[in-house]
Amino acid sequence: MLPLLEPIIAVLVPFAALFTKPVWAHVQVLLAGAILCRGPHTVAAVLRVLGLGTERRFEKYHRVLSRAQWSGLQGAQILLGVLVSLLPPGWPVVVGIDETVERRQGRKIKAKGRYRDAVRSTDKTVVKCYGLKWISLMLLVPLPWSTRVWALPFLTVLAPSARANTAAGRRHKTILDWTLSLVTVVSRWLGHRAWVLLGDGTYACVRLARACTAAVRPATLISRLRLDARLYAFPGPPAPHRRGPKPRKGKRCQALGQRLAEAHCRGKEGEVPWYGGTTKRVRLLSDCGLWHTPGELPVAIRWVLVVDPTAQHTAMAVFSTDLDLTPEQIVAWFVQRWNVEVTFEESRRHLGVETQRQWSDRAIARTTPALLALFSLVCLMAHALTMTGSPLLLRLTAWYRKTEATFSDVLAMVRRVLWAEKYFHPSTVREQPVLFHRDEWEVLLDQLAFTA
């Protein structure tokens, strides 16, 4: 096992209680190897990068994912607690939610389905693929090396396809069903602390909005709203001596798509944070009302119609179940949801998501959530190292000048620390050469050769 610095050990210690002592030792090996590994993140590649290619009992590392008894849900609860403690005082708990498709094929992968590939599809071309659908919750955290907030995953669940559930004899759970369960779980973990859930148009649902507001520990839902959504005024006072149930909604309001001209004329003009870390001057038209869908009870929302005075971008509408939020705050939080997509892309590029080769159901259900959680652990390690004075170096070239650190820089910082602790032990004499054991030298050469 690699020797670890105290800041890194402090990040990992809270998770030790999830495992038995032998399994915890194997988990640390897999964790360090997954950080150092480049390319496909298989268990074999992880062992090879640590010089364990001659390990005869290699199956014990596979069994950490396929057979060992440990709870990923408890690990997610611990990780959320660690991430929340990282928030500055008074900073709101904002959680982004989104689903992603992991491209996987194989007869033994039972939960797979055929989905639209959002990464490779465009407005004109729809690309479909076989794979696994994951729903991930990420906490939006400000970090010292970036002006934008980072979306750090803490809970990821597998949503099997309808065909897989039918074949297994299980009731199919839709994305909405899974989201309702996740909202209940996170609300229980956070106790009485208020929190905000950000989602795209997939999560713009009256049922979900009503569940967030009716919970024992209410959460605020912010999502995109269709321009033809059914909006109603609040019901007036009931007529005296009138029998029967009280009205649940008032008069039907004009659709937002028909109020674009009003937004251009009467909307409040101002600057809001926008995509790409920029600010944009827009006009905002906002009001409170009841959102209704046939078969569901109406829910009170504050809707915001966003129009571009320059007409370069199409109009959009967002809503919040918290009626006291300002329109500017609602739009600012909704724009921050894009950081979830950045995390998905960085996880694919640097942490080997979609390169796993597990076939057992338990290993499949554990590996991808573990890799996404590794994104958060690497950020926690880098944050702990910067707090002790270790510099976070930016990778600069003559043709590309970075102004802020990206995940590749953060990952490189943690990798340098791990490699230095394993091979390059500091010497009391600066001019003293660093000696390598022959086996360690071969491991380094092997990694350099295959990386090149």
Q: How confident is the model at residue 186 (pLDDT cuts 50, 70, 90)?
A: very high
pLDDT digits (tens, 9 = 90+) for 343-383: 999 999 999 999 988 889 999 999 999 999 999 999 999 99
DSSP H/E element including 155? strand 149-158
Torsion of CA 408, 414, 420, 422, to 10 degrees: -120
Q: What pLDDT, on the 0 to 100 scale, is given for residue 431?
A: 64
pLDDT digits (tens, 9 = 90+) for 232-261: 999 988 777 777 788 888 899 999 999 999
In this structure, how many other beta carbons lie within 10 angstroms of the beta carbon of residue 421?
16
What mean pLDDT do residues 78-97 have? 95
Task: Look up residue 107 and give its amino acid.
Answer: R
The overall average pLDDT reported for the chain is 90
pLDDT digits (tens, 9 = 90+) for 154-172: 999 999 999 999 999 999 9
| C-beta separation of 288 from 274 below 8 A | no
**202: which 2 tokens?**
């997939």
pLDDT digits (tens, 9 = 90+) for 6-63: 889 999 999 999 999 999 999 999 999 999 998 889 999 999 888 888 888 899 999 9
Give the position of tokens 């659709």.
Answer: 255
- Longest Cα separation, the chain: 96
